[in-house]
Structure 1
């Protein structure tokens, strides 16, 4: 089974996506790292695979314009690996200006001077909370004065409201430094790491796809900061490269039951623990799969550690 890995292949896959369907597909995508917006390429593993001239950066530059042209969304709902809450979904309600949360540390000042201008939408945020309540889940609005809190992984902790780097970094490449015509709302994922619960997080919002809302869930299929050679396909262990390949195969199963079971079984794969010492970068895959539960699936790109998959075609 072959999946798109080169620019010509992923551009063909993007062209093949259905235009303005009755239900916009939900997408899992690789959100990369702050090095996507680095000023120059370095020799590090992270920069070579996720730097400004790498495959992921080039894909995101193609991905965003294709989404806007094909779907002309009324709004964007985004999930990131970097915003987790337990049992209750938090929904940004920031009004006319979505602030940014520089939730990384140890970078040069340039990375803390980044801008991405966008607006929220109160009606959309309220609609999301209502859909969670209808699905028997808890949801609450998170306003400009509310801190998102510390995720327990960054050090020192950075707190406050705003879009984390799993949103504004890839969105800068996808949409430019400003989006003034499409509101963007972020929703938290389920911190327990439970596949079923994160699937339900996405499924509860499936109705939005019929209302012109684009659902994007960002993460990475390999994320091990303790063993950075796993970020490069050339240096990664065989177990991890086999795991990464198994993801696109599992997602492509045509029958829903088989697809869901195959996706859940990925957490039992021999390479999973080495690819993911913690699961927060992997479970957004389940959010997107739940949001696009009904319908077909298309692997739009199979970039190592950062594929993009459309659910609900």
Structure 2
């Protein structure tokens, strides 16, 4: 692969929002400002909370229809398009880095980007002119996901922006329009402090060590992509350089988003 920028790309974890993110008065501008401050990627590798598939699976390597993996929204949200180029060269590089005994990699060429990928990308790179590849999470085990991130880390030196896309707190049954619940504030603050301290062991065991861990993540798929990002950062010694780029809350959920290096 030939990078469009020199130097190592950062690794990101972002809270991706729901389809109505585009109409939020603040959040789209935060995402746009974030991407404007990044080197331009040669390609983007997305790991979304909304695709669990084992063994690890590569999505489409050419432009195919999006996956509208949500229900009950107004019709216009199902008309959104994000026709980013496919990334067949990135897919081949991912296969080479990840395939190993006991770790198969499969392809699903018809699988388009889901909303965990295209919703934030539409705000960060609205021209949809950067190749994007989405890969599945084959497990929700944090240590295993960190190991995948470590193996993907060399892509950062090829101009690839590695993005874990989830939500820093995620409990849809407890969405709020009238303030932020204590459990969301407590988990967000705990996570901020653990990341600032580089306490990977605490983060790996977040379900037990974080306050209100089970309330913040009744199921852990939206926190899980963080560990791919952490692995990609740890492999290059960038954990200490992590910082929160976006914070605050949306309908009671923490939208903390992170950049390493």
**Shared fold, TM over 0.5:** yes
C-alpha deviation, 1:23, in angstroms: 2.1
Select 1:265's aligned residue among 159, 181, 205: 205
Residue 190 of structure 1, aligned match among 138, 154, 162: 138
2:77 aligned with 1:77: no
* SS at structure 2 position matched to 1:172: helix
Shift of 1:276: 1.1
Local SS of the residue matching 1:94? coil
Q: Could you tell me which of 306, 309, 313 is aligned with 2:255?
A: 306
Partner of 2:187: 243
Deviations 1:250-306 (A, max 9, x none): 11225xxxx211212322123111111111101111111011112232222223311
- Name the counterpart of 2:114: 164
Distance 1:21 1:267 in 2: 38
Aligned pairs for 1:29-178 (under 5 A) are: 29-38=14-23, 52-54=24-26, 56-67=27-38, 71-86=39-54, 88-95=55-62, 97-134=63-100, 137-144=103-110, 161-176=111-126, 178=127
Change (3 A) 1:37 1:301: closer
**Structure 2 stretches lacking a partner, 5+ long:** none
**Contact 1:27-1:215 at 8 Å conserved across structures:** yes
1:273-288 equivalences in 2 (<5 Å): 273-288=214-229
Structure-2 change in CA distance of 1:203 and 1:306 (3 Å): same
Runs of 4+ residues over 3 Å off in structure 1: none
CA contact (8 A) 1:89 1:187 kept: yes
The two structures, once aligned, show a CA RMSD in angstroms of 1.9
Gaps of 5+ in 1: 1-19, 39-51, 145-160
Number of equivalences: 248
| Closer/same/farther in 2, CA of residues 249 and 136 from structure 1, 3 Å limit | farther
Give yes or no for contact 1:92–1:120 (8 Å, CA) kept in 2: no
Pairwise CA distance, 1:247: 0.9
TM-score of the aligned structures, taking structure 1 as reference length: 0.74
Equivalent-residue separation in structure 2 for 1:63 and 1:219 (angstroms): 17
State the TM-score, normalized to the length of structure 2: 0.88
Q: Distance in 1 between matches of 2:155 and 2:45?
A: 9
CA drift of 1:134 comes to 4.7
Q: Give yes or no for contact 2:34–2:245 (8 Å, CA) kept in 1.
A: no
CA shift, 1:169, in A, is 1.1
Q: Deviations over 1:221-241 (max 9, x none)?
A: 111111112x87x3312x331
